[in-house]
């Protein structure tokens, strides 16, 4: 029991004490917050990507909508941090919910293309709607306001204090995603990923479930976006760009799409690598591109996938009999291929 939960407990302790040890390993508070924020976004994306099997390549749109929603609320409406977070999250969530029906029937390549293109729509609105969004220069001129509850004030301007707000949101996001995945809803998502047609035959209206996954995922991603805008007191069209969407996807793949915590591992490595590389060389984009290529060619299952396989192999080595069974079931392949050749040959005769 303890062994099973040990990694997770260690993770939470590490996250709770980040401001204490981060400086010693060469990081800074904002980096810790950024990893958690991108972590929320990647975990949320993975609900669609890893658990429902929908190849969403446009999640930056909802991230950016959250960011702009929060920024514009603070700048034009009310100077209230919680309200800004709420408005941003709802804005991104609403967009994902409304656009979901356009993508829910698609699969694979088609799904990816439509989500990419929809993301670009918001990018160009942000770039061109100068007087409201600040155009290419981005939206500035707002700052996170202290939280006031009764007589208590929590000053968010302090990076460490803001980190704990981000951590709180991270916990909320993780709890939501965990509840979804543990519920029959989440099991249906996985069933759709594994075999969409069979799920349909079972009477599941797969379209609606893909829509639900997309909407939940978009909303949580928007939450991450709002926090990102508040972290830098700034947001720009780059937060909506398809390169960010691609980065989210590679973070999920790098960590391991089939594991709940995979995306967080991917985010940590990716964000730290990006931070380090951009200080090292002007050609950091090439380095990131190489990283993409190498991950795809060498680690398609991600780091946690690799760890899990090691562990399984180790367990298998202990009980030889089980290994044989596993290997035998693993090598069974679908049979229908030769049949087609036969009929063709007959037709040709």
Partner 1 sequence: MQLLLFNAFNGLIQGVFYALMALGLALILSLNSVINMAHGGFLVVGAYLAYTLSPYLGFWGALIVGPICAAVLGLFVERVLIRPLYKRPDPLYTLLLTFGLALIIEDLTRTIWGAQGLPFQVPESLNSPISSVLFFITGYRVLVVAITIVVMIGLYLLLRYTRLGVRIRAGTHDLETVSALGVNIYLLRALNFGLGCLLAGLAGVLAAGILGLTPPMGSSLVMPSFVAIIVGGVGSLVGSILGGLLIGVAAGITTTYYPAASEAVIYLIMLIVLVIRPRGLLGHEGLFE
Residues that bind partner 1 (CB under 8 A): 49, 55, 57, 102, 105-110, 112-114, 116-118, 120-121, 124-125, 127-130, 242-243, 246, 249-250, 253, 282-283, 285-286, 288-293, 295-297, 300, 337, 340-341, 344
Angstrom distance (rounded) from CA 349 to CA 345: 6
* Cβ closest to partner 1, residue 127 vs residue 192: 127
Q: Are 254 and 303 in contact (CB under 8 A)?
A: yes
- Cβ 64 to partner 1 shortest distance, Å: 14
* Cβ closest to partner 1, residue 108 vs residue 315: 108
The CA-atom distances, in angstroms, between 99 and each of 53, 93, 121, 190, 214 are: 18, 10, 12, 22, 9
Residue 342 has which token pair?
């036969």
- Cβ 257 to partner 1 shortest distance, Å: 8
- Cβ 141 to partner 1 shortest distance, Å: 21
* Cβ closest to partner 1, residue 105 vs residue 312: 105
Residue 299 phi, psi (nearest 5): -125, 55
- Cβ 288 to partner 1 shortest distance, Å: 6
- Cβ 269 to partner 1 shortest distance, Å: 15
Residue 246 phi, psi (nearest 5): -60, -40
Angstrom distance (rounded) from CA 99 to CA 211: 9
* Cβ closest to partner 1, residue 173 vs residue 251: 251
User: Which residue shows structure tokens 């941003």?
Assistant: 88
The C-alpha R_g of the chain, in whole angstroms, comes to 22
- Cβ 246 to partner 1 shortest distance, Å: 5
* Cβ closest to partner 1, residue 61 vs residue 72: 61
* Cβ closest to partner 1, residue 230 vs residue 251: 251
Closest CA to 114 of 156, 163, 54: 54
The CA-atom distances, in angstroms, between 199 and each of 87, 101, 193, 194, 298 are: 36, 19, 9, 9, 32
* Nearby residues of 251 by Cβ (< 8 Å), 6 or more positions away: 38, 42, 263, 266, 267, 270
Residue spans of alpha helices (H) in the chain: 2-16, 18-21, 29-46, 60-72, 81-103, 108-128, 130-133, 159-182, 184-194, 196-201, 206-232, 242-255, 262-280, 284-298, 302-318, 320-331, 337-348
Residue 12 has which token pair?
């939470």
* Cβ closest to partner 1, residue 226 vs residue 236: 236
- Cβ 254 to partner 1 shortest distance, Å: 10
* Cβ closest to partner 1, residue 107 vs residue 161: 107
- Cβ 286 to partner 1 shortest distance, Å: 4
């Amino acid at each position: 029991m303890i062994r099973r939960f040990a990694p997770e407990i260690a993770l939470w302790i590490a996250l709770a004490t980040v401001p204490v040890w981060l400086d010693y390993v060469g990081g800074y508070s904002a980096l810790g917050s950024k990893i958690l924020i991108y972590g929320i976004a990647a975990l949320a994306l993975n609900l669609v990507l890893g658990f429902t099997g929908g190849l969403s390549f446009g999640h930056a749109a909802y991230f950016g909508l959250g960011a702009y929603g929060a920024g514009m609320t603070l700048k034009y409406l009310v100077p209230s941090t919680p309200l800004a977070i709420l408005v941003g999250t709802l804005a991104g969530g609403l967009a994902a919910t409304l656009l979901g029906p356009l993508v829910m029937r698609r699969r694979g390549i088609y799904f990816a293309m439509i989500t990419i293109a929809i993301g670009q729509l918001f990018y160009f609105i942000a770039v061109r709607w100068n007087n409201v969004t600040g155009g290419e220069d981005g939206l500035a001129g707002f700052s996170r306001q202290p939280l006031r509850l009764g007589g208590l004030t929590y000053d968010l301007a302090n990076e460490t204090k803001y980190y704990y707000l981000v951590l709180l949101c991270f916990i909320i996001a993780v709890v939501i995603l965990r509840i979804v995945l543990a519920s029959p809803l989440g099991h249906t998502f996985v069933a759709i990923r594994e075999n969409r047609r069979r799920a349909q035959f079972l009477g599941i209206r797969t379209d609606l479930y893909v829509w639900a996954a997309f909407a939940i995922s978009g909303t949580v991603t928007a939450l991450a976006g709002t926090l990102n805008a508040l972290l830098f007191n700034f947001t720009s069209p780059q937060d909506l760009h398809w390169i960010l969407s691609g980065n989210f996807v590679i973070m999920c793949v790098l960590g391991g799409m089939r594991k709940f915590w995979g995306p967080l591992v991917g985010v940590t490595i990716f964000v730290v690598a990006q931070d380090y590389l951009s200080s090292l060389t002007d050609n950091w984009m090439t380095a990131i591109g190489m990283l993409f290529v190498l991950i795809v060619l060498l680690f398609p299952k991600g780091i946690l996938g690799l760890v899990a396989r090691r562990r399984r192999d180790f367990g298998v080595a202990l009980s030889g009999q089980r290994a044989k069974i596993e290997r035998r079931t693993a090598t069974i392949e679908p049979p229908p291929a030769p049949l087609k050749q036969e009929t063709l040959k007959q037709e040709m005769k």
